[in-house]
Amino acid sequence: MAVLLPTPGIRGSGGGTFAEKRVILICLVIALGQFQNGYDSAAIAGFQSMDGFLEVFGYHDPIIGYNISTDVQRLIQSLINVGGFLSAIAIYAFGSRFSRRVGLWIGCLLAIVSVSLMIGVASLGGLYAGRLLLGMSNGFLVPYSVMYMTESAPSLLRGSIVGMSTFQTSLGALFGILVDNYTAKRAGNSSWQIPLAVVYCVPVLLGTFIAFLPDTPRYYVTRGEDEKAVQAIRRLRGITDERLLRAEVDDIRSAFLLETELHAGVHLGDMFRSRPDLRRTLLCYACSVGQTATGVNFMAGFSVYLFAQAKVGDPFMWVLVSLAIALTGNMLAFPAMRLIGRRELLIVCSMVSAVMMLGMAAVYTAAGKSPAASKALVALSIVYTWVYGVGQGPVLWALSTEIPSQRLRSQTVGTASGVNFIVGWVSAFFTPYFINPDKLNWGPKYGYIWGASNLILALWAFFFVPEAKGRSLEQLDELFEKGVKARKFAAFAVERQLVDGDSRTLQRGLEEGDGTSKMATTVDQLEHSEKGAAGTPLPRQLLL
């Protein structure tokens, strides 16, 4: 008689988000790496209007008072991207030797050194060196935190959990502006040193937290340490059934061994050599660059400036309002990523963002600095920020780590981050030329460029982005190896069944089957599968 097994992470019967609360909370803390990135971006933008900061790193203009030179402004913004690019090179060269935890620890150490340097050495040289090192810190924390979440989360919640990266980035930006607001009026160096010192909280908390965590199950499997992989799943997700634990590890290992057999060794050109790997690499790169293509860096770095140009009453407060509203979008992203497909969410949100960007540019072109135009500009920018938080940010982060193969994930994600840092550097370096009154003086009309880039992003998603919702990383390996077209991913029947699904998936498989579904197994099969208990793959029919 066939007896259905309970699903993992469910601890018995039923299933859903609440049953996986442990791994959700763990990943929320791991996403602090993204918090640092958001906090720094907002805080450094505020420094440029602080008298205490400008007394040291700026100059006094007899007409407008303290100001910062264009060269200094461009360097402190762009060096962060240069540092990230250097980290991407290091990850590509040595990433396979670093565990996910070690990568996070390196990022934490670099953050502490960089902040200490900027606070302790009050000179442009110290500031530049600190910005470079902080960029290197972000270059480790961002990809390794996302990889940790991707490889630890159950398939059905993976997109939602990885989407928390965007929430933490927005939360960090909000905190950065809030801290700046409370210290900006202080006299002397403390006005900018206090916000910098707050950055210490991230590496200290994150570095301490990961000391009590295992590495990811998939990392242990790639090192041939199956017992540690079993323990990692038990600790990360709270699963206690030994058979379920070993079956999940068996499935991860069998997929990894199959992939390794097909593509033995890791070399420089492996990401581009075979058709499946080339496709996955290009998709990962496009997802990473897509973060910049959304225009979010432009809005994050220059919203206050644009609002000031548009004669908005209190530009600083409107940025705070925009970020606060964006957080509600980030929170909505969690259920949206689970209930709506990645493709649909990315396509729709990119189209809406394009309309918002083009709308801002058109309003400013037609009405300039009129009160009505100012209100429209604020409203459109708030809607854009919210839409990005719901769909574009979370989806692109999730896809950039879901798509690469297990064997090449560190190298692919690392180099993709490097490509994005280059694109981000170009954006940060040249944006002032477009919006500054001394140059092209486009102001909000710069939105024409980002509106077009969002339209291109939507078209690319429609034609090339595969649907990863509800698929395990091992199933994605199978789909790419078989060359399934992007628009057929969702409906394609794979041989490998989910090993970390929920009870609803199991029930649906039975209802659609003939009563002897592949998604069920018998107790006899398990009791007589001594090989499975010893660590070799259990029958594929076992669904956890």
Q: Which domains does the chain have, with CATH numbers?
A: 22-213+263-470 (1.20.1250.20)
Region 215-229: mean pLDDT is 89
Q: Are 487 and 341 in contact (CB under 8 A)?
A: no
Low-confidence winner among 44-53, 192-201, 226-235 (lowest mean pLDDT):
44-53
What pLDDT is attached to residue 285? 94
pLDDT band at 206 (very low <50, low <70, confident <90, very high): very high
Q: What are the phi and psi torsion angles at 498 (to 5°)? A: -60, 135
Q: Helix 32-47 to helix 164-183 angle, to the nearest 10 degrees?
A: 30
DSSP labels for 235-266? HHH----HHHHHHHHHHHHHHHHHHHHHS-S-
Q: What are the phi and psi torsion angles at 67 (to 5°)? A: -150, 170
Residue 125: CA count within 13 A, CB half-sphere: 1
What pLDDT is attached to residue 272? 84
**pLDDT, the chain, mean:** 80
What pLDDT is attached to residue 262? 61
Region 227-241: mean pLDDT is 88
Q: Which of 260-269, 466-475, 528-537 has the highest mean pLDDT?
A: 466-475
Distances (CA, A) of 376 to 7, 107, 363: 50, 41, 7
Core vs surface per residue 436-474: b (16+ CB within 10 A) or e: eeeeeebbbbbbbbbbebbbebbebbbeebbbbbbbbbb
> Which residues are registered as beta bridge partners of 157?
none
Distances (CA, A) of 210 to 102, 111, 471: 9, 16, 27
pLDDT at 333 over 90: no
What pLDDT is attached to residue 459? 96
In the DSSP assignment, the letter for residue 443 is G
Distances (CA, A) of 172 to 300, 319, 544: 12, 14, 37
> Which residues are registered as beta bridge partners of 65?
61
Q: Please give, one letter per residue, the 3-state secondary structure of 384-439.
A: HHHHHHHHHHHHHHHHHHHCCCCCCHHHHHHHHHHHHHHHHHHHHHHHHHHHCCCC
Burial class (CB in 10 A: 0-12, 13-18, 19+), 123: exposed
In this predicted model, what pLDDT tens digit does every residue of 94-143 receive, in sequence order?
777 778 999 999 999 999 999 999 998 878 889 999 999 999 999 899 88
User: Pick the residue with more confidence: 372 or 281?
Assistant: 281
Distance of alpha carbon 236 from alpha carbon 230, whole angstroms: 10
In this predicted model, what pLDDT tens digit does every residue of 56-87 receive, in sequence order?
888 777 765 677 777 887 888 788 888 988 99
pLDDT at 368 over 50: yes
Place of tokens 């006299």: 187
Q: Are strands 65-67 and 59-61 parallel, antiparallel or unpaired?
A: antiparallel
Closest CA to 46 of 210, 167, 175: 175
DSSP labels for 74-121? HHHHHHHHHHHHHHHHHHHHHGGGS-HHHHHHHHHHHHHHHHHHHHH-
> Which residues are registered as beta bridge partners of 66?
60
Distances (CA, A) of 258 to 99, 150, 219, 255: 22, 20, 16, 5
> Which residues are registered as beta bridge partners of 522?
2
Region 506-512: mean pLDDT is 42
Closest CA to 415 of 276, 293, 268, 222: 268
Q: Are 77 and 431 in contact (CB under 8 A)?
A: no
Q: What are the phi and psi torsion angles at 148 (to 5°)? A: -60, -45
In degrees, to the nearest 5, what angle opens at C-alpha 53 toward C-alphas 319 and 180? 30
Q: What are the phi and psi torsion angles at 492 (to 5°)? A: -70, 135
Residue 55: CA count within 13 A, CB half-sphere: 11
- Residue 325, both tokens: 């509203």
Closest CA to 218 of 230, 234, 229: 229
Burial class (CB in 10 A: 0-12, 13-18, 19+), 67: middle
> Which residues are registered as beta bridge partners of 2?
522
**Length of the chain as a residue count:** 544
Q: What are the phi and psi torsion angles at 522 (to 5°)? A: -105, 160
